[in-house]
Amino acid sequence: MDNRSWNILCWNIRGINAISKCDAVRNKIEESSCSIVCLQETKREFFDISFIRNFTPRRFDNFDYIPSVGASGGLLVLWSSSVFSGCGVGKKDVSVSLWLLLQ
């Protein structure tokens, strides 16, 4: 049996577009030492790795998301490939399903 432990950070961030919000998210991610980040209410229609680098430590190099519709909604899930290998396997209006395997 594998006895490794890891943390998940789940947060309703009410929008990720402001610089001050990006700084707060980065600080909380660092403080939590998490391996998976789940952000709700991103209020953002598109994510790419260059934007994600604005508010996450470099170890978060994989992600999947559901875009917001207008100024509401949006989900983002991030994980580190040094801890997990995996990919998104399904999306619905309010959920992202992932397949993750511990390294």
The confidence score (pLDDT) of residue 71 equals: 79
Q: How far, CA to CA in Å, does 11 sit from each of 3, 24, 38, 57?
A: 26, 12, 6, 16
Q: Which residue has the higher pLDDT, 60 or 93?
A: 60
Q: Is the pLDDT of residue 92 over 90?
A: no
Apex 6 CA angle, 8 and 79, nearest 5: 55
